[in-house]
Amino acid sequence: MYHLGSYLGASVINYNISTSVIGFTWGNSSRDDDLVTSYRVELTEYRTGKLIANASVGTNRSFNVKSNFIPGNSYVYTIISTVRLSDPSETILVRANIHCTVGW
């Protein structure tokens, strides 16, 4: 199942990382679009694991977190795709983790 999940995970198309906002825009391959039913995003501080944001974004493919981010700190942006396979009882969650560091 991991192999399948690696193909169904969200792929980052664009991003914005600054001291005031961390945001990503993502997509899936066109053949997998109809399999993803929703997304949830999380933003955590890398070193402490402190959760900064946790939101369900439905089928939207972008999310921004506005805050006062510390230059030099690393964060983990996680996009969790809910994927429904051929049988509605066959639903999997696919995580895509993106590590980012706020610039000086």
- Torsion angle in degrees (nearest 10) through CA of 18, 24, 25, 26: 150
pTM here is 0.85
Asked if pLDDT for residue 88 goes beyond 90, the answer is no
Asked if pLDDT for residue 54 goes beyond 80, the answer is yes
Q: Residue 87 — pLDDT band, cuts 50, 70, 90?
A: confident
The mean pLDDT of 44-68, rounded to a whole number, is 96
pLDDT tens profile 74-86: 999 999 999 888 7
